[in-house]
A = this chain, B = another copy of it.
Amino acid sequence: MKILEERIEKDGKLIEGNILLVDKFLNHQMDPFLFLEMGLELKRLFEDENITKILTIESSGIGISCVAALTFGVPVLSAKKNKAKNLRDCYVTQVASFTRGGVYDVFVARDYLNPDDRVLIIDDFLAEGNALLGLADIVKQSGATLVGAGIAIEKAFQAGGERVRNMGIRVESLAIIESMNDNGIVFRH
């Protein structure tokens, strides 16, 4: 998606050669009109799939998901990383965390995901794929149909994209980074 690639080039910041900061427009400061463009593109890609629910994970997937949900006309469900005491009957799965270290639990209330649902997962990044696989596991537990995943930025030099696609999950990434280093970012088209 050209507009997203251009934005990454313009406002993204590469530090230490291999960390891409996009907190100017994607996950700290957020551009709602970019999110709307991304939502429209995801709607085009998954047009015929009769999506009934968007599933994401707090917190950096929420903004994109809520704006994209306007284009799909469906609710967003945001998996929780902490089990609020009022969240009673939940699907639970474990997600390995690169940034946090270790493994953490992720929760979704059973009430809001059921076998009739056709689910699109949306998230900001796909790197090792752990969060995405955790969300896919929750969809499986619920008996709902996982239609696919819409990702803002995929790092193709990490293993997640291949892992997830090898499981037969359709992944559509709006910007795919083939490589990045001090010379800049190369996108895969």
Interface residue? A139 (CB, 8 A)? no
Contact segment of A60-68, A143-151, A169-177: A60-68
Which of A43-51, A71-79, A180-188 forms part of the interface with chain B? A71-79
Q: Is A112's CB under 8 angstroms from B78's CB?
A: no
In the assembled complex, A167 has its CB within 8 A of some CB on chain B: no
Chain B residue at minimal CB-CB distance from A32: B69
Contacts of A73 in B (CB 8 A): 33
Interface residue ranges, A against B (CB under 8 Å): 15, 19, 21, 23-25, 28-33, 35-36, 58-59, 62-67, 69-70, 73, 75-78, 80, 84-87, 99, 108-109, 111-112
- A30, B67: Cβ atoms closer than 8 Å: no
A66 touches B28 (CB 8 A): no
The answer to whether B28 touches A75, judged by C-beta atoms less than 8 angstroms apart, is: no
**Are B78 and A30 closer than 8 Å at their CB atoms?**
yes
> 5 pairs across A/B with beta carbons < 8 Å?
A15-B86, A23-B109, A30-B76, A32-B69, A62-B66
In the complex, which residue of chain B has the Cβ closest to the Cβ of A100? B82
Residue from A15, A25, A32, A84 whose CB has the most chain B CB atoms within 10 Å: A32
Complex A-B, nearest 3 residue pairs according to Cβ-Cβ distance, in ascending order: A59-B59, A63-B66, A58-B59
